[in-house]
Chains A and B, each alone.
Chain A
Amino acid sequence: MHSIKQTFAHDTWVMPYLRKYKWLLVLVLFLGMMTFLSAAALMFNSGYLISEAARRPGNIIYIYVPVVLARAFGIARPVFRYSERLTSHNWVLRIVSDFRKKLYQAVEAKASAIKQTHQTGDILSILADDIDHIENLYLRTVFPIVIGWLLYLFIIIGVGVFSWPVALLMALILAMIVLVMPLLSVAVNGTREFKQKQIQSNFYTSLTDEVLGLTDWVISGRYNDFMKLQNKPIDEIATLRRKDHFFQWWRGFGVQFFFLLAVLTLLIWSGTFFTASKGMANWIAAFALTLFPIVEPFLEVSQGASEWPVYRQSIERVNQLSNDQPQTVAQTTLTEPVSDLNVNHVTFHYPDDDKIILKDVSLNIHRGEKIALLGPSGTGKSTLLKLLLGDQKPTVGIVTINGTPVSELQQQRAQLFGVLDQQPYLFDTSVMNNIRLGNLNATDDQVKAAVAAVELKSLIESLPDGYDTEVQESGTRFSGGERQRLSLARILLQDAPIIVLDEPTVSLDPITERQLLDTVFKVLHDKTIIWVTHHLAGIDHVDQVRFLEDGVFDMQGTPRALYRDEPRFRKLYELDTGKRS
């Protein structure tokens, strides 16, 4: 119980929506309860009907009402069930729409325009799965449990009308089913679920590891080691699962056992209670049979409860995400054109890590200037870009545009910065729509002009669907170089004064690379450009080259001056052109 309380202590994901769609929720629960009440009523009524008929009353009129009721209940149950399922799914999917929006907003607030580690994608999938989990929380746990409890209350009150002591006994017996066993399930399953999750994620990691490194395994010829690696987690999971299954089977048996006690109680009680007359005795069969249809929802209560630990993790994860949002800074807007971008004595380390990534770095870029940033991976190039864009704040120092801190210009960011990175994202829609994302107000002609500028006109127009061609998931319809050009067209429409190029050619071959760089610098000739690059192809396009090493700039100048004066630069340049070995 404590853990449940804890989970919902700062909850913004479950409770608010229960409140928001309150009436629909009431309807779902009502329909769910009516489903099983109709089923119980059908058996109750039928028991009475045949008992009364067995007395052979003189006239059919005596059993007319039960006959009509039997048919009514017979039809009511499936109808209620059908509407309950439709309503509950509709309700849950409505909530999912809200969830998705909320999750999106939470992730959006923290997202960086500069690519993080490749794992980001996985985390996003986990979050998307969490939404599905919360969906199931309602359908498989909340609804069955609440409906089970409502039925429980109904039975107790129903019996209580006749006899309070019997109602109390029934309350105790059935409490085993709707309270004790579910709690037991949570307790037992909670620890086991935790263990299983752990083993499973280890197994998942090692299996992925094996599949990804399969080439090396095959070459190594270590078949036995390969097989041995999975045996342990497989055995552990099998053991846990066996225990889990055994528990479930015996729990099912337990529910049936207490259910049997409840049936016996009703049978014996009605056998002693309805003895006043033969007419009264007709109720005995009714009470003896009525409980049987209720066993189904009762079995679901424990099952639903045992799934709670899975959902709990999801709820906690999404709650954590939305509870720990970055602080906001008062925003201003820049009205005059950008004249200079200034990095002023900036030092940076991540809050949770002592490692200094940038040490007292200064950089001043004037309008229209083009700068190339080089350096081995891990020296802070990406971090510097994040600081420029305002995705991160310097630990010491300040980044400004025309003297205004970038952190105060975030609302205007898309008007100030355009970004082209290693793998720009193309959305699963048409070419036209993808490019128009750069400027939603662009006309078709403007989009086409941008496509022409990036030299894709003939390619796109040669496709059967032209500008309406679908780019497919992640843009797989097009090659790497073409994807970069499509994104470049998007940036042209965006028309921001400062362009950040984050290793846009790293996965391209030299010919494609050179052609792309020529186009990039041609169409962006009037922009301020900060270009992070991994080698020196196309370096003649820039005014200044800076080498970042261990968080400081250690070599800088115009490409020509560096080539003339720096032997190290000359050596790298000649290696790049293949002149030197």
Chain B
Amino acid sequence: MIDRRLFKIPGIWPRIMMIALLTLVQAVTIVIQARALSIAVVQLWELKPLATIVTPTAVFVVSFLCRHLITVAQNRSFYPFVAETTGKMREQLMTKLFRLGPSLVEKTGTGNMVTMALEGIDKVQTYLMLIVIKIMDMGITPWVILLYIAFMQWKEAAFLLIIYPVIILFMIILGLAAKSKADRQYAGYQRLSNNFVDTLRGLGTLKQLGLSKRYAGNVYSVSEDYRKETMATLRIAMTSTFALDFFTTLSVAVVAVFLGFDLMDGKIMLLPALTILTLAPDYFLPVRNFASDYHATLNGKNALQAVLDVLETPETTDRDELKQLAWHDDSSIKFDDVSLTYEDADQPTLSHISFDVHGFQKVGIIGASGSGKSTLINLIGGFLTPDEPGHISLNGQKLPHLSQETWQHNSIYIPQAPYLFHATLRENICFYQPDTADGQVKAACEKAGLTDWIAELPQGLETMIGEGSRGVSGGQAQRIALARAFLDDSRKVLLFDEPTAHLDIETEAALKEDMLPLLDDRLVFFATHRLHWINQMDYVLVMDHGQLVEQGTPAELAGHDGPYTQLRAEMGGLHALD
């Protein structure tokens, strides 16, 4: 219910004390309110004139209003703190995201990450608001009321005291029973609820198979199964609430009957009896409120846990080992027996990779799918960290990994589908260098072959592109990435990961022509299974099952019957037309 880390939030203790104080005052107003109302009723009961109840009624009104004003005050004074705390949390989350980079997203999933930063933090906010105030309420209010009742009539107080743990006990027992049953049902239940979205997404396929009309019946019957499962779970889950409801309501009834008998025996007067009766529901109110918000708090607790877990993920350290770097034709990068194992894998994805590349070499990385080409590119880009430090060196300096800020500021990464931001075309092109003069942007667009397309666009460079805006074809997206690269001449390391694999052949041919000038005077790592690119490379790394099985210039490799010649034969095995 409560995450211990909650109490480590800076500045939370003074707030908790303040809430406690307000709750205490509120509990007193509850007692006064009950007392005053009872006095007024008793006066009337004794058939005294209306004038006699003016004072007690006034006290009742004031204490009643105070009680509810304090609720507002509690919320209002606590909220700014909660808002600030969760705001900071969101900021820290984003900073973490930036520091950990794509590897974090890969682990948690894009959707989860966004949901966590948006709804997750909102849930944490609700949780913080609820948990502190409700717990204070539960910890203070009933006992003040009980103490007051005990002063008047110890028997009823004793009954109320004893029934309290019984209620909690029953709630826990029934709650646990419900939970274990619910857990058992959860797997099947989850599947049923996913089934609907699953079906909608597969609608195209169902239509192709001519089953789509008939499937409506299936949707209905699966949903009915879902209903039955849900009801079975709910029936048990609600039993816990029922127990709470049952005991508290019945307790009030029992107290009323007790008081009735005591009054008949003359052991108590009407005024204290009526006060006790009025207070009895308020005695149980905090625990009922707590139970009714149980699910919101549970969700909030899970959200808080997820957020804190991300915040506590260790970051890659030593990102500034490499003090300075400007890539020249005498610079060099060396991999010496580098291995990489993913966190949850037992086999290394890359093992014992060694190569030595220098200056403005163009390095092709080829291999079947799953051979580790992308992983190697990610390792070179510094998005992944090798198993052991010190196996990679740049210009002779041994480095723990390539997640060096200076190295990354020297590189450009172009994947199969370059990401286009939801922004104007200009902002997308100038992404690495936001403040670039118009002339330079136009020149870069010209080089990337974008000029004609831009001329067709309604607002030229200021047209919005990216998700939900104007569609950009795969070829144009690549050209935008090229323009980015042309624009930033200081970045001399180019990393390509299958940039043309999914393009149609005509687009690919045209794109290639514009891409070639970019490769000049740069260090290029080019992972691809499009064979024609090999003709532009002056060094080739052949990957197979995470190992570097062959390396050399294309001519050397073609010269003997090794993995390179085999791979080429398999990949290019078109049945010849000529």
State whether A93 touches B110 (Cβ < 8 A). Answer: no
B91 interface residue per 8 A CB criterion: yes
Tell me, in angstroms, the Cα distance from A418 to B211 when the chains sit together.
12
Q: What residues of A have a CB within 8 angstroms of the CB of B17 in the complex? A: none
Establish whether residues B281 and A572, one from each chain, have CB atoms under 8 Å apart when the complex forms. no
Contacts A253-B69, A490-B209; A90 near B505 (Cβ below 8 A): no
A512 within 8 A of B: yes
Contact of B226 among A93, A272, A374, A425 (CB under 8 A): A93
Q: A334 interface residue, CB < 8 Å from B? A: no
Query: What is the 8 Å Cβ interface bit string for chain B, positions 544-578, against chain A (1 contact, 0 not)?
Result: 00000000000000000000000010111111111
Asked if B7 lies at the interface with its beta carbon under 8 angstroms from chain A, I say no
In the complex the two chains form, what is the Cα distance from A53 to B45 in whole Å?
Answer: 12
Interface positions of A from 389 to 420, Cβ below 8 Å from B: 413-415, 417-419
Decide if A444 is an interface residue (CB 8 Å cutoff).
no
A535 at the interface (CB under 8 A from B): yes
- Shortest distance between the CB of A19 and any CB in chain B (Å): 19
CB distance B202 to A249 under 8 Å? no
Give the nearest-CB partner of A54 in chain B.
Answer: B270
Q: A74-B254, A225-B434 are in contact. Are A86 and B234 (CB under 8 A)?
A: yes
Contacts of B223 in A (CB 8 A): 96-97, 100-101
Beyond A540-B575, A572-B509, whether A284 also contacts B253 by CB under 8 A is no
User: Contact mask A87-123 → B, CB, 8 Å, 1/0?
Assistant: 0011001101110110011011001111101011100
Among the listed A56, A81, A127, A206, which residue makes an inter-chain contact with B266, where contact means beta carbons less than 8 Å apart? A56
CA distance A307 to B270 in the complex (A): 44
Please state if B211 and A437 are interface contacts (CB–CB under 8 Å). yes
Which residues of B have CB within 8 Å of A78? 242, 245-246, 249-250
Q: Which of B93-101, B305-313, B350-358 contacts A (4 or more CB under 8 A)?
A: B93-101
Stretch at the interface among B136-144, B321-329, B409-417, B437-445: B409-417
Say whether A293 faces chain B, with CB atoms less than 8 Å apart: yes
In chain A, what residue has the closest Cβ to B43?
A271
Whether A71 touches B257, Cβ cut-off 8 Å, given contacts A50-B277, A252-B71, is yes
- Which residue in chain B gives the minimum CB-CB distance to A272? B50
Smallest Cβ-Cβ distance to B255: which chain A residue: A46
The answer to whether B577 touches A540, judged by C-beta atoms less than 8 angstroms apart, is: yes
Interface members, chain B 348-380 (any A CB < 8 Å): 368-369
Tell me the B244-272 residues at the A interface (CB within 8 Å).
Answer: 245-246, 249-250, 252-254, 256-257, 259-261, 263-264, 266, 269-270
Q: How far is the CB of A196 from chain B (nearest CB, A)?
A: 11
Q: Are A128 and B200 in contact (CB-based, < 8 A)?
A: yes
Instruction: Write the B5-19 contact mask toward A (1 if CB under 8 angstroms, else 0).
Output: 000000000000000
Known: A53-B264, A250-B72, A575-B505. A205 touches B256 (CB 8 A): no
Minimal beta-carbon separation of A285 from chain B (angstroms): 5
Cα separation A469 to B526 with both chains bound (whole Å): 38
CB distance from B431 to the nearest CB of A (A): 6
Quick check: is B204 within 8 A (CB to CB) of the other chain?
A: yes
Contact (Cβ within 8 A) B534 A578: yes
- Which of A230, A438, A539, A563 contacts B209, CB < 8 Å? A438
Give the residues in chain A near B509, CB-CB below 8 Å.
Answer: 571-572, 575
Contacts of B75 in A (CB 8 A): 245, 249
Q: Which positions 456-471 of chain B face chain A at CB distance < 8 Å?
A: 466-468, 471
Contact A242 B256 (CB under 8 A): no
Task: In the complex, identify which listed stretch (B172-180, B189-197, B294-302) lies at the interface while the others stay far away.
Answer: B189-197
Interface residue B4 (Cβ < 8 Å from any Cβ of A) = no
**Which of chain B's residues have a CB closer than 8 A to the CB of A209?**
421-423, 466-467
B264 and A56 form a contact (CB under 8 A): yes
Q: In residues 48-68 of chain A, which contact B (Cβ within 8 Å)?
A: 49-54, 56-57, 60, 63, 66-67
Residue A335, interface by CB 8 Å: no
- Indicate if B474 sits at the interface (CB-CB under 8 A): yes
Q: Which of A210, A256, A573 contacts B577 (CB 8 A)?
A: A573
In the bound assembly, the distance between CA atoms of A415 and B264 in angstroms comes to: 87
B504 touches A375 (CB 8 A): yes
CB distance from B205 to the nearest CB of A (A): 4
Interface SS, A side: helix
**In the complex, what distance in Å separates the CA atom of A210 from the CA atom of B105?**
11
Known: A534-B504, A572-B506. Contact between A50 and B204, CB under 8 A?
Answer: no
A241 to B385, CA, bound (A): 41
Q: Which A residues are CB-close (under 8 A) to B574?
A: 514, 536-540, 576-577
Q: Which of A10-18, A216-224, A317-325 contacts B (4 or more CB under 8 A)?
A: A216-224
Contacts A288-B37, A424-B205, A437-B209 given; does A90 touch B198 at CB 8 Å: no
Residues 480-520 of A at the B interface (beta carbon under 8 Å): 487, 490, 494, 506-512, 514
Contact for B204 among A222, A425, A536, CB less than 8 A: A425
A560 to B264, CA, bound (A): 112
Contact assessment for A220 and B234 in the assembled complex, using a CB-CB cutoff below 8 Å: no
Q: Are B535 and A581 in contact (CB under 8 A)?
A: yes
B residues with CB within 8 A of A:
37, 40-41, 44-47, 50, 53, 57, 61, 64-65, 68-69, 71-72, 75-76, 79, 83, 87, 90-91, 94-95, 97-98, 101-102, 105, 110, 113-114, 117-118, 191, 194-213, 215-217, 219-220, 223-224, 226-227, 230-231, 234-235, 238-239, 241-242, 245-246, 249-250, 252-254, 256-257, 259-261, 263-264, 266, 269-270, 273-274, 277-278, 281, 368-369, 381, 383, 405, 408-409, 411-413, 415, 419, 421-423, 431-432, 434, 466-468, 471, 473-475, 502-509, 512, 529-532, 534-536, 568, 570-578
Extra contacts, 5 of them, besides A212-B110, A219-B381 (Cβ < 8 A), are A45-B256, A50-B277, A112-B207, A572-B505, A578-B535
Across the A-B interface, give the 9 residue pairs with the lowest CB-CB distance, nearest first: A414-B210, A578-B531, A74-B253, A581-B535, A46-B256, A53-B263, A78-B245, A54-B270, A425-B205
Q: List 13 A-B contacts (CB under 8 A).
A: A45-B256, A46-B256, A94-B227, A108-B212, A120-B201, A208-B114, A210-B94, A216-B413, A218-B383, A234-B90, A252-B68, A284-B44, A563-B578
